[in-house]
Amino acid sequence: MSERIFNFSAGPAVLPESVLRAAQEAIWNLADSGIGVLEHSHRGPEFTKVIEEAEANCRELASIPDDYAVLFLQGGASLQFAMLAMNLLPSGATADYVNTGSWSKKAIAEAKKLGTVHVAGTSEDEGFGYIPGNDAIRWSNAPAYVHYTSNNTIAGTQWHRDLPAPSAVPVVCDASSDIFSRPIDVSKYGLIYAGAQKNLGPSGVTLVIIRKDLAERAPDTLPTMLQYRTHIKEGSLFNTPPTFGVFMIGEVFKWLKSQGGLAGVQKHNEAKAKIIYDAVEASPMFRGTARPDSRSLMNICFRGPDEDTEKRFLAAAKEARLSGLKGHRSVGGMRASIYNAFPAAGCTALANLIASFR
Ligand SMILES: *Cc1c(COP(=O)(O)O)cnc(C)c1O
């Protein structure tokens, strides 16, 4: 197939076309060096420029304060589930987690292997279809940190307010599926992490933004690669970083700047999600699964009247060249993932299908 189609995949996901074109060129010949980006030494001047620019653009986009480090790591968000607890949860202390879906549960399970976890709030009672209210969250006494998942990729819910964290307790956020989809005040966080493959680039690179003093909490016995301070000290170059992923993230940051930065991309994202939610609401056949005040702008989950109709809808979508709309295997139904790079025209195409499907 020579033409590209609308790709609603939850991750790895669609990337901006201009970024893919730049990558095509850079794989062949990076910045007129005569060597492709995949073939350059991570210590040479060409890649040094790539990683320095990527970090600078990241800092500019989110106005990241100087006392925070920006790291490009490996192992995905899933390694962060363990690594953050290894570094930030001293023995004898408790970490508080809000459980809003499958990824929160995985983060909790990893932390439990390493220390004491208190689940401060949960929406599991209603299949994770909402974000718990502030009055339903009970923090423990003096937690080492509090952790939440800002966007729940599988249930299709998203926090639309700050976590009501106890003062002076570091807030740790798994932002894998909504990072840089809207403005973010980094100074309110201790640590933000995200696998790149949803909103930032290809799989294989993980963005970590960490307040530097928190890295000093790690015990010296922790293996070197698992200490944040190693990567802070070496500027993500302790070992060979995922060079292509860093290049791609850097290109996505440039693209984000061209979209009016995070405020600009937020406007696009709100308009895009509205196209689909409006169509679902207007349809007598489909219904959204998330409570309206908790709906995600990134992952729109909806159901049909029965599984057979859903199957036929997914077949019709495929016919209309709309790919990746099947809901996560754990919840069924449909899910339209419309991260930053997903085009508005694809949202309109889906809305039209929802309206015309019989
Ligand atoms: C996809 C996802 C993960 C897992 O990311 P990996 O990079 O595959 O480890 C974790 N958290 C959230 C919210 C996700 O969407």
Three-state secondary structure call for residue 40: coil
Both 96 and 187 in a single domain?
A: yes
Q: In the predicted model, what is the mean pLDDT of residues 298-318? A: 97
Question: What is the domain-level CATH number for residue 171?
Answer: 3.40.640.10
Quote the pLDDT of residue 358.
86
- Secondary element (H or E) of residue 266: helix 261-282
The tally of CA atoms less than 13 A away on the side-chain side of residue 350 is 34
How confident is the model over 160-182, as pLDDT tens digits?
A: 999 999 999 999 999 999 999 99
pLDDT over 80 (residue 98) = yes
Tell me which residue has its CA closest to atom 2 in ligand 1.
Answer: 176
| 187 occurs within a structural domain | yes
Q: Is residue 12 part of a domain?
A: no
Which of 222, 239, 258 is where one domain is finished? Answer: 258
Q: Which of 174, 178, 255, 326 is catalytic?
A: 174
Task: Determine whether 103 is an active site residue.
Answer: yes
Query: Does residue 1 register a pLDDT over 70?
Result: no
CA 151 to chain CA centroid, Å, is 7
Residues above pLDDT 90, as percent of the chain: 98
Active site (annotated) includes residue 105: no
Last residue of a domain, one of 258, 279, 307: 258
Tell me: do 198 and 266 sit in the same domain: no
Tell me, yes or no, whether 151 and 282 share the same domain: no
Residue 334 pairs in a beta bridge with 302, 326
Which mutation among 9, 74, 176 tests ligand 1's pocket best, with the greatest number of atoms within 8 A of CB?
176
Dist CA 173 CA 158 (whole Å): 12
Task: Please indicate, yes or no, whether residues 230 and 318 belong to a single structural domain of this protein.
Answer: no
Residue nearest to atom 8 of ligand 1 (CA): 76
| Mean pLDDT of the 225-245 span | 98
- Segment 143-159 shows an average pLDDT of 98
So what's the pLDDT on residue 14? 98
Instruction: Categorize the per-residue pLDDT at 140 as very low, low, confident or very high, splitting at 50, 70 and 90.
Output: very high
Q: How many domains does the chain contain in total?
A: 2
Residue nearest to atom 14 of ligand 1 (CA): 176
10 inside domain: no
For the CA of 203, the nearest atom of ligand 1 = 7
Residue 213 has pLDDT above 80, yes or no: yes
Task: Specify whether 174 is catalytic.
Answer: yes
Residues 253, 327, single domain; the answer is no
Q: Could you tell me the two tokens for 257?
A: 């700047």
The pLDDT mean for the chain works out to 97
The closest of 338, 330, 271, 268 to 300, measured between CA atoms, is 338
251 shares its domain with 123: yes
Beta strands in the chain (DSSP E): 6-7, 68-73, 94-99, 116-122, 146-149, 151-152, 157-158, 171-174, 191-195, 206-211, 287-288, 299-303, 322-323, 334-337
CATH number of the domain to which 276 belongs: 3.90.1150.10
Domain containing 270: what range?
Answer: 261-356
CA distance 358 to 355: 9
Same domain flag for 212 and 266? no
Per-residue pLDDT tens digits for 104-136: 999 999 999 999 999 999 999 999 999 999 999
Burial of 2 (0-12, 13-18, 19+ CB in 10 A): exposed
Based on the fold, state whether residues 240 and 271 are members of the same structural domain. Answer: no
State the distance from the centre of ligand 1 to the C-alpha of 299, rounded, in angstroms: 13
Ligand 1 pocket, 77 CB below 6 A? Answer: yes
Model confidence at 305: pLDDT above 90: yes
- pLDDT at 93 (0 to 100): 96
The tens digit of pLDDT for each residue in 9-50 reads 999 999 999 999 999 999 999 999 999 999 999 999 999 999
For residue 146, the cross-strand partners are: 96, 171
The answer to whether 289 and 318 have CB atoms below 8 angstroms apart is no
**Secondary structure (3-state) at 268:** helix
- Ligand 1 pocket check: which of 73, 81, 103, 158 to mutate, most ligand atoms within 8 Å of Cβ? 103
User: What is the CA(77)–ligand 1 centre distance, in A?
Assistant: 5
User: Ligand 1 centre and the CA of 207: distance in Å?
Assistant: 12
Global pTM reads 0.98
